[in-house]
Chain A
Amino acid sequence: MLQNTVLIPLLPLLSAVILIATAGRLPKRLVATLGAGSVGLSAILVAQLSIAWLDNPVPYSLHLWTWMSVGDFQPGIAFYVDGLTVVMMSVITGVGFLIHLYSTEFMQDDDDYSRYFTYMNLFVGAMLILVLADNLLLLYLGWEGVGVCSYLLVGFWYKDPANGAAARKAFIVTRIGDTAMALGLFLLFTELRTLEIQQLAAAANLQWEPGGNLPILACALLLGGAVGKSAQLPLHTWLPDAMAGPTPVSALIHAATMVTAGVYLIARTHALFLMAPPVMLAVAIIGVATLLLAAFTALNQTDIKRILAYSTISQIGYMFLALGVGAFSAGIFHLMTHAFFKALLFLAAGAVIHCLHHEHNIFRMGGLRTRLPVVFWSFLIGSAALAALPFTSGWYSKDEILLATWTMPWAGPWLWAGGILGAILTALYSFRLVFIVFWGEAKTEPDRQPEWRMAGPLALLCLLSVVGGFIAQPLDQVFPAHQPEHATGAVAWITMGIAILGVIVAYLIYLSKQWSVEAGLNSPGMSRLREFWYSGWGMDRFYDSLFVSPYKTLARIMRNEPIDQLYNGIVQLSLWLHGWLSDQQSGQLRRYAASMVVGLILLVAVLAGAR
């Protein structure tokens, strides 16, 4: 049974290999069967494994082969399965399968059907390796693997250079974080002589003082990787652009799975992070800052996918907040529920886009409530969960996070206040989206309705978004037993109900229009502020002028090889010398005689001087 663990990542990878080998010559039906079927089979295996594992919840590892062995550096291709892995695998294969199924219809008319499923399967394989890895090097393999798949899928429609630019941005920005992470691995190995995660925790406990410089440095470097992958401040700018890819890609990679890898990494190495309290605080602060920044930005976007992208950044901010205050289970819980409702939202948005001739602007939609009922209900449920309305899955998880935040020593209430403000904003922007897109007058008529392969996954995800809060996670053994206390009393009540306030405000502004905010919004100061929010707080421009342009200029100046100028100088000097010497060979006897005389005089002078 447990040996089947190997098959879980292997099946999607095998399918990808078959699709590569056949190079698009297979009929679409077969491609769809292979692509979605392999992930489906993996999902079944994961389900089997989970059931078997829950009977006897003992972590186990599976050593396949030693990757490389040089001295004491012996990372293995080895898997480690515990509660956290089981949760992550379930999310990846479960949501992954639904999205694959959805894609079989969504991508029906695309010429590169086979290429699409190749990349998707590769992605699922790499993501599974990431969560199964028992050492940080193998995790890094999965980590970079999903990065490349993300690059490929964002730039899937490669004929438009803008998509290529978005894809490169996604890869390079995350690569900056990855490099920090790689340095973290170097440091960990140099100090602790292992990269195996469980051994790392043990070795760190033995060798390192909690709060010492080394754990802080190592965790800060790992955090760099997490921040890049999970699109948190300051490396969040790639995610909104990554929406250039097909919508199911956004659902799978840029909402449900890959972007949460950073959360997974911190949760996985929590033993190290607990030894570095300043880094933990930094995680929490990054989380709050990001969630607020992204929420403000989401409020001003007009592109349906960009709104969802910023909401993803914001929700991952909540997960970081949870990790930062030590509520690891709550963070992973939110990761799971977020995977359900955000995948649902993206797939629903994809259905809208699919049915409205690739329309992205929400102000050219409207009145879709009656025209696309399935999509409407999906979107409504997804938004409710995103806004954390009571009794949806998002409510349970976000509640846990905020309650745990309150009890954190000294910074707790401040972080909590940020989270609460974020919660209001979340409700506001998500229902702004719902009201604008699905109510009001119709501006574009849908030309088709989603069929079962799209509607089915939507329905299932609706179900999960509602009841996902009741799924118990087997994380007790993974994380430290004493997690933060939950706040009680008034704080708890505010936390529970705050989202409703946001929805009411959204209703008053965008649906009943009883609150007119037009005048306020268009006042000079406000519109400049909105401009600022709209541009994602000017981060793109900032990075562009600080890094991108200087680098391009540098490359342009240097492209003709400054060092070669040195050698060209030598060449010029020899040429000049050659010219000078050959000029001396003038053929004029008198000059020869004169130079002989001069030479003779010099010689005599030198000899006389020497004496």
Chain B
Amino acid sequence: MELANLIVIFLFGGLLAWLAEMMMENSARWVSLLTIALCSAYLWRLVGHIPAELFHINPVANQAGTWLMHHQMNWIPRFGVSFELAMDGLSLLLIVLTLFLGVVAVVSSWAEVDHHRGFFQANLLWTLAGVIGVFLALDLFLFFLFWEVMLVPMYLLIAIWGHEGKAHAAMKFFIFTQVSGLLMLLAIIVLVVLSAETLGRYSFSYFDLLQNDLSGGVATMVMLGFFVAFTVKLPGVPFHTWLPDAHTQAPTAGSVLLAGILLKTGAYGLLRFTVPLFPEAALQFAPIAMGLGAAGVVYGAVLAFGQSDFKRLVAYSSVSHMGFVLLGIFAWNHLAIQGAVMQMVAHGLSTAALFMIAGALQQRLHTRDLGAMGGLWHNMPRMGALALFFIVASLGLPGMGNFVAEFLILVGLFQSMPWMAVVAALGLITGAIYSLRLMQEAFQGKPDAHRTLPDFGPLEMTVMIAMVIGLLWLGLYPQPVLDLAQPVINSLTAEVQL
């Protein structure tokens, strides 16, 4: 039950935050921080109990004991649905990222949210609950449940606390995710029914489904159901168009969560489910998926360059960066997958930080329009320096996590499809172009002499510096992260050879 507690803590924390705000003004955000702290401490204790050698064992799909933690309980035995949670290095890594960015999200909402604070924090925590559930669930029915749990509070975050065009953006986000989610549900059901023929019983368990590989046209259709659902979330071209709107309109905390974690659930799903469940279909589909990835890298970068809205620009940069993840996953070798995992973490940090900066600017200037900015370094040198750091991180400067990620992906990709790597490498150039434009338009140029703006305060600086240190650590000594993910990747690549 220990793993379930991680989710339960957030569900109750959300409820508590809502109630607390009714009792006492401004208490909800403290409840949120405490909830995250509690969950982190609990996770720490859990991980502390795992024998160290387990971290080096490749988790074998059908041997639950090789996973770091595994837990299964009957739920609807008649249909083979069970409450099955399990953790391996990959999920642990992403949960740690989730907790960290949860703190970032709470801090970025600290002064920004001015109405219904309690309900805001509740939704924030419930989103986290859904995300952690997604990272832990290994029963496809349960996975789908958490997939939806994650969606609804996020919809509310955008629809209630968003900016001027929030209704449209929230609706777009919801419809995209919901339609693709339904495709996934359909795919899950077809998969389970088809597997029942060989398995002799219905089972939604990942381990069972992994045993029998579908093949033929049905496999391709079912695989596409999963692929579309995850690629919408990732987002990959051409399913990305909800993202710029949602990011732009969401409150800062919403953008941080969206960019930092929710997008990663898509990448996680591709890595965990799409390829391993349908190796043959995925093999055939890989060139197209990589093509979409490479297209995303370049397309996102070109569109980012054309934007005049700070948040929209960063949103398109996410499209570009997540294109690398798609490439890395479908290149399907150690280097590329490690790169994709690394990109998930590094992009989470760098983009969350950029959204926080965007939010801080919106709060101070009441606009996101780059044309109305300029010379802000003069007014806010601390924010300028941090923006510079995260911008060069996101354009892939060596020494920061994003570089390690992109380099690993491209090296891996080059070994399987050199030309694809050449196209994707264009992203290094186009990435520099839009990133530097962002820096120029916002922070450089002639300052407005009449403008006095408060720089980052201590709370924001603390979070920012934590992210700076995180990115440098990932960039200079990424080995702990790589080691954590390595056994998982070993077993994935042993299972499936593309």
Contacts and interface: CB of A to CB of B under 8 A. Distances in A.
B475 to A, nearest CB: 9
Interface string A168-190: 10011001101100110111011
Contact of A68 (B408, B425, B443): B408
Contacts of B306: 555-556, 558-559
A82 interface: no
Contact of A168 (B238, B302, B436, B443): B436
A561 B244 contact: yes
A144 B399 CA distance: 9
B365 interface: no
B476 to A, nearest CB: 7
A500 B142 CA distance: 85
B445 A186 contact: no
A449 B333 CA distance: 64
A494 interface: no
B302 A554 contact: yes
B429 A179 contact: yes
Contacts of A155: 444
A110 interface: no
A167 B388 CA distance: 14
The interface size bin for chain B is 35 or more
B434 to A, nearest CB: 9
Contacts of B392: 148
Interface stretch (B153-161, B207-215, B271-279, B377-385): B377-385
Contacts of B307: 559
A566 B418 CA distance: 31
A71 B398 contact: no
A566 B305 contact: no
A221 B451 CA distance: 48
A68 B238 contact: no
Interface stretch (B19-27, B102-110, B409-417): B409-417
A289 to B, nearest CB: 24
Interface in A109-162: 137, 140-141, 143-145, 148, 151-152, 155, 158-161
Given A141-B399, A161-B445, A555-B302, A69 B482 contact: yes
B347 to A, nearest CB: 17
Interface residues of A, number: 54
A20 B444 contact: no
Contact of A137 (B302, B382, B407, B478): B407
A164 B445 contact: yes
B422 interface: yes
B398 A179 contact: no
B47 interface: no
A67 interface: yes
A379 B451 CA distance: 45
B56 interface: no
B476 A77 contact: yes
A171 B444 CA distance: 16
Given A144-B397, A168-B440, A189 B375 contact: no
Given A68-B482, A563-B237, A567-B241, A175 B411 contact: no
Contacts of B72: none
A80 B17 CA distance: 57
Q: Is the interface of A mostly helix, strand, loop or mixed?
A: helix
Contacts of B375: 158-159
A182 B396 CA distance: 12
Nearest to B430: A551
Contact of A159 (B334, B422, B433, B447): B447
Interface string B306-333: 1100000000000000000000000000
A172 B436 contact: yes
Contacts of A68: 404, 408, 478-479, 482
Contacts of A514: none
Contacts of B407: 137, 182
Contacts of B433: 168, 172, 551
A23 interface: yes
A186 B482 contact: no
A66 interface: yes
Interface string A404-447: 00000000000000000000000000000000000000000000
A252 to B, nearest CB: 20
A564 interface: yes
A183 B420 CA distance: 11
A73 B432 CA distance: 26
Interface in A14-43: 20, 23-24
B482 A190 contact: no
B426 interface: yes
A558 B237 CA distance: 14
A606 interface: no
Interface string A49-78: 000000000000000011111110100010
A72 to B, nearest CB: 9
A186 B428 CA distance: 14
A146 to B, nearest CB: 11
Nearest to A65: B477
B241 A161 contact: no
Contacts of A171: 432, 436
A175 B395 CA distance: 11
19 contacts: A20-B385, A23-B382, A67-B478, A68-B478, A71-B334, A73-B335, A141-B398, A145-B399, A152-B388, A158-B444, A159-B445, A182-B428, A186-B411, A186-B418, A190-B415, A554-B302, A558-B303, A559-B303, A561-B241
Interface of B: 237-238, 240-241, 244, 299, 302-303, 305-307, 334-335, 338, 375, 377-378, 381-382, 385, 388, 392, 397-399, 403-404, 407-408, 410-411, 414-415, 418, 421-422, 425-426, 428-429, 432-433, 436-437, 440, 443-447, 476-479, 482, 486
Given A158-B445, A160-B446, 7 more contacts: A70-B334, A70-B408, A140-B398, A144-B397, A175-B428, A179-B426, A182-B428
The 7 closest A-B pairs by CB, nearest first: A559-B306, A555-B306, A141-B398, A186-B414, A158-B444, A564-B241, A555-B305
